[in-house]
Amino acid sequence: MFQRFDRDRNGSIDSSELGQALNSLGFCVSPVIVNLLISKFNKSGDRYSLQYDSFIECCLTVRGPTETFNAKAQGGKATFGYEAFLMNVLPFIIA
């Protein structure tokens, strides 16, 4: 997966490549979310891209809340009380 989306073969995934990779996995996230993910998971000092290990961590982190949301959603929308929201999201943030 990483090599497939590292189109310029520089060993890292930039925001455009990350957006395409997440979309191919079924995670339709906006460019704003992609940039937030890169800011959160970047460990190399290059604030615009992710190395392989950070890419995997990012994808796994997005997967958990997305699956939780999809299990509760109808028509792409879900209603959560604050407590339920925290109970569903915090395990992925704290882990």
Token code pair at residue 94 = 């704290």
Domain spanning 2-94 has what CATH number? 1.10.238.10
Q: What pLDDT digit, counting tens, does each position of 29-86 carry?
A: 999 999 989 988 988 777 789 999 999 999 998 998 888 888 888 988 888 889 988 8
Distance of CA 13 to the CA centre of its chain: 13
Task: Give CA angle at 48 (45, 50), nearest 5°.
Answer: 70
pLDDT bracket for residue 25 (50, 70, 90) = very high
DSSP-assigned letter for residue 49: E
Determine the longest span between alpha carbons in the chain, in angstroms: 44
Token code pair at residue 76 = 């792409």
Domain range list for the chain: 2-94
pTM for the structure as a whole: 0.80
Its sign, for the CA torsion 61, 21, 2, 47, is: negative
